[in-house]
Copies of this chain bind each other. A is one copy, B any other.
Amino acid sequence: MTRSSEQIEAARQDSLGRLLLNAHRAHMSVFLEKIRQQGADDRINASLTNIMTHIPAEGIRLADIAKASNMTRQSVSQFVSELETIGYVKRIPDPSDGRATLVRFSHKGWDIMQRALQVKHEIESEVAKKLTPDGYAQLIIALKIVGSL
């Protein structure tokens, strides 16, 4: 049995690696599109949203964002500066340690963050709706397994 080039192409697209990559890209691009529709700044991107998810209401030290996000302090510093330029975040001195700066949301930033969480839930239920009843839970389990290969 000879396989057409379409079938070969389909098989390639079905590999776990490619599916994971495509899924991640699609998810991220839908997410960015939706939060921009919610009024997020056009300069917002994957890296900046990643940083933002690590900032709690009370603020957090730059070095702690670095630990939580597995990035260097230098990279985080750069992204925090971009967030500062956009006006989503402020650097304030840490009262308990003269070396440290706390990164804290501005009103605008906090607002967008709430909308982002909302959008995240929307996307997750959209996916869940397209799966069998416990399909979403299974997906999460499977992804955790792959993530800890």
Question: A residues touching B (Cβ–Cβ < 8 Å)?
Answer: 5, 8-9, 12, 14-28, 30-31, 53-54, 56, 68, 120, 123-124, 126-127, 130-132, 135-136, 138-149
Residues of B within 8 A of A53 (CB): 12, 15, 18
> Which of B17, B127, B136 is within 8 Å of A24, CB to CB?
B17
Contact status B123-A16, CB under 8 Å: yes
Cβ–Cβ < 8 Å partners of A147 in chain B:
19, 22-23, 25-26
**Known contacts A131-B142, A145-B130, A146-B127: A31-B56 contact under CB 8 Å:** no
Whether the Cβ atoms of B135 and A149 lie closer than 8 Å is no
A144 to B28, CA, bound (A): 15
Q: A68-B9, A135-B138 are in contact. Are A23 and B20 (CB under 8 A)?
A: yes
Q: B149 to A14, Cβ gap below 8 A?
A: no
- Please list 16 pairs of residues, one from A and one from B, whose beta carbons are closer than 8 Å in the complex, sorted by A's number: A8-B56, A9-B68, A15-B120, A16-B140, A17-B24, A17-B28, A19-B140, A19-B147, A20-B23, A23-B24, A23-B146, A26-B149, A126-B149, A127-B142, A135-B142, A136-B142
